[in-house]
């Protein structure tokens, strides 16, 4: 029998301070808990569309982004959101530092932001509509 991977089950993100990271991921991104979290725990488990996002305290927090061949910083994690323009405006109005909104033909709208440990995350608005494609051609 061949192995067939069905989907991601868990993504673990190393963090310096679990409480700070929990606050950020819950308040800024609105991600709910998978399991109850107690302050002082060394890990917290959030739920992103059925995939576990573990915030795991680590003494060494590596950089989780990279630069592509064009010199552009790329995130390891990209999260899909509804109403990306409203999300973008809300985060900026709260003083959250983001990149500029960008549009990729056939790929849609996205922007990036950094968590308290400096991990870059991409927020993506989903596949573009025909109207988006026409407006951005």
Which CATH number applies to 1-59: 3.40.50.720, 2.60.40.10, 3.40.190.10, 3.10.180.10? 3.10.180.10
Into which CATH architecture does domain 63-137 fall? Roll (3.10)
Residue 81, classified by CB atoms within 10 Å of its CB into exposed (0-12), middle (13-18) or buried (19+), is middle
pLDDT (0 to 100) of residue 78: 94
Q: Pick the residue with more confidence: 103 or 4?
A: 103
Q: Average of pLDDT values for 15-36?
A: 96
Q: Average of pLDDT values for 41-53?
A: 96
Q: Average of pLDDT values for 34-43?
A: 95
Q: Radius of gyration (Cα) for the chain, nearest Å?
A: 16
Tell me phi and psi for residue 89, to 5 degrees. Answer: -65, -40
Distance (Å, whole) CA 6 – CA 22: 28
Do 1-59 and 63-137 have matching folds? yes
Q: Report domain extents, the chain.
A: 1-59, 63-137
pLDDT (0 to 100) of residue 80: 96
């Amino acid at each position: 029998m061949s192995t067939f991977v069905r989907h991601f089950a868990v993504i673990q993100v190393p963090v310096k301070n679990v409480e700070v990271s929990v606050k950020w991921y819950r308040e800024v991104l609105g991600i709910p808990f998978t399991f109850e979290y107690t302050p002082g725990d060394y890990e917290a488990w959030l739920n992103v569309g059925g995939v576990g996002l573990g915030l795991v305290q680590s003494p060494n927090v590596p950089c989780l982004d990279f630069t592509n061949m064009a010199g552009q910083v790329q995130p390891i994690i990209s999260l899909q959101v509804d109403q990306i323009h409203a999300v973008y405006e809300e985060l900026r109005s709260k003083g959250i530092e983001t990149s500029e909104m960008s549009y990729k033909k056939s790929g849609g709208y996205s922007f990036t932001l950094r968590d308290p440990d400096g991990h870059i995350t991409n927020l993506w608005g989903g596949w573009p509509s025909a109207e988006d494609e026409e407006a951005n051609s």
